[in-house]
Amino acid sequence: MSGYETYAVVVLEASRVNRLGSHEINDLIDYFEPDGVILIRGDAPVFTVEQVRYELEHVIPDGVDLHAIAETDPRTIPTDAGTVLIAPYELSTQQVESYLPDGSHTYVFTEAVSVEMDMIALTASVDGLDPYRGHNTPLTVFSGQLASDYWVEHDGVDLRGLGVVEQGNVKIPCFSLGSDGVVTVNSLAEGKLGIRALSGMGETYAARFRQAGYETVEDIYEAEMVDLLRVKGVGDHRAEQFTKQSTALIEGEVVRFTDDESLPQDVVHIDIETDGLNPSIIWQIGLYDPHADETCAFLQKDSTQKGEILREFGAWLRNNLDGRAVVAYNGWKFDFPHLTEFFHQCAPEYSQTWESTYKVDPYDWVVRERHAAFPSRGNGIEAVADAVGYEREHTGLDGATTAHAYQRWMQNPCDETELDWDRHTTYCREDVLALHHVYQALLNSGRVLSEQNTDRPTDENTQQGTLFDY
């Protein structure tokens, strides 16, 4: 990826920042390690934005840029990934043109673009985007009025949302802006910041622990079990779980909750790429064979031949699997059922081969069956692999980006929409290698902490302050 650069920004909503303490803000920055923070209004009035920006300046560490969209004048920020244009209000076409550099991709952050839905006619109208159309400089427009899972192309302009996604836990987004115009997004649930990173540590328990002087995961890690049991409502089981999880996070190791040995040693790792969460096609299957120490990619460039890679993959399984298990991360929720469906539809001659294959999902084993704790705040494969020491080759892609790119290719196969196939196969290859690294960490984790393991150093605890205590 020669010459490829990125600029990472975390997005915070002024109307929600006061829900976070300073420890949690620092936790967020430590997790994402962004180049900058973009502050949007959310539901807050402008004067609140200014207050929040002032308070954040005392919390966000040096070296991390802070930009509030709701400031008085448009301004540009040169970055290694291109130019960032902050547009606090609607600009004219001429004004936009005056801010655009020659050649490099420009990322626009604004709160002046909105989408109105007509639920009767089932149509959507976009307001405020016209000034960004028709320029020679490639543009991606981010709007603070849209949620971060919004991504639609309008007349050659990529329009994306900046706001939090409120589906269960509120998810705070971090965007990685690429010098080639490719954007990836990673999110962290608000409820996973600070001591709430520990599973089962809801706000009620978190408040009780804070009152007792436990502000951070490290505070709980350094405490003795007997001290945790003094917190109201905390019994042996919950104290043990918090201890194990904090150990995993602080020491950077998988910690077993049980001595379960059901994970098979002899496996093959796979990952699939589709055109979305409700796929019409599986267009890539990545595979890593530890026996041969080889990766391979079954790739479907022609979307009209949906069964081609299923037959190739099925033949590989029939000829090479030899009784080994197939491993996919979060496989029971995605890879396995979709492969079953598409084998039935497109390659029925290999359905029995696939259905008789023993399947393993390490995400299911750790998170749902609660056999262990990952040393990461998020349970996504990239976060977990990074936490256990895997250094992946950076492609600037994620699952949503690859799905979107293939959708464009399916709709209009041409030179303009054709994927960089090598780049996309590299992304999938890195996922299966990351999976192998995570799986080995699970197999090698023989450490099970007992309730009696309380020989930890203790430290004097401090009282939590909110962001606005500064």
Calculate mean pLDDT across residues 379-386.
90
**Is it true that 6-190 and 194-251 share their CATH fold?**
no
How far is the C-alpha of 77 from the C-alpha of 69, rounded, in Å?
12
How far is the C-alpha of 228 from the C-alpha of 241, rounded, in Å?
11
Q: What is the pLDDT of residues 198-221, one digit of tens each?
A: 988 888 999 999 999 998 999 999
Residue that has been written with the tokens 């090698």 in this structure: 444
pLDDT at 250: 92
Q: What is the pLDDT of residues 276-313, one digit of tens each?
A: 989 999 999 999 999 999 999 999 999 988 899 999 99
CB 86 within 8 A of CB 75: yes
The highest-confidence range among 40-54, 236-250, 308-322, by mean pLDDT, is 308-322
Is the alpha carbon torsion for 365, 216, 244, 198 positive or negative? negative
User: Of the ranges 65-74, 223-232, 256-265, 444-453, which one carries the lowest mean pLDDT score?
Assistant: 444-453
Calculate mean pLDDT across residues 151-178.
85
Fold annotation for 267-443? Nucleotidyltransferase; domain 5 (3.30.420)
User: In this predicted model, which residue has the larger pLDDT, 465 or 280?
Assistant: 280
* Mean pLDDT across the chain: 88
What CATH number should be reported for the domain whose range is 6-190? 3.60.21
Task: Tell me phi and psi for residue 348, to 5 degrees.
Answer: -60, -25
How far is the C-alpha of 277 from the C-alpha of 356, rounded, in Å?
25
Q: Which residues of 43-82 are buried (b: 16+ CB within 10 A; e: fewer)?
A: ebeeebbbbbbebbeebbeeebeebbbbeeebeebebebb
CB 327 within 8 A of CB 289: no
Pair of tokens at residue 45: 């009035």
How far is the C-alpha of 68 from the C-alpha of 11, rounded, in Å?
10
CB 258 within 8 A of CB 371: yes
Instruction: Enumerate the domain spans of the chain.
Output: 6-190, 194-251, 267-443
End-to-end CA distance of the chain: 43
- Specify the pairing of strand 114-118 against strand 123-127: antiparallel
- Specify the pairing of strand 325-327 against strand 267-274: parallel
> Which of the 8 DSSP states describes residue 46?
H
Residue 461 has pLDDT above 50, yes or no: no
Q: Give percent of the chain with pLDDT exceeding 90.
A: 60
Pair of tokens at residue 407: 């959708």
Pair of tokens at residue 411: 């709709």
Fold annotation for 194-251? DNA polymerase; domain 1 (1.10.150)
- Specify the pairing of strand 139-147 against strand 157-163: parallel
Q: What is the pLDDT of residues 389-440, one digit of tens each?
A: 999 887 878 888 899 899 989 998 998 889 999 999 999 999 999 999 999 9
> Which of the 8 DSSP states describes residue 448?
B
CB 142 within 8 A of CB 148: no
> Which of the 8 DSSP states describes residue 466?
B
The vertex-105 CA angle with 103 and 108, nearest 5°, equals 130
Measuring CA to CA, how many Å separate 240 from each of 159, 198, 398, 451?
Answer: 46, 12, 35, 6
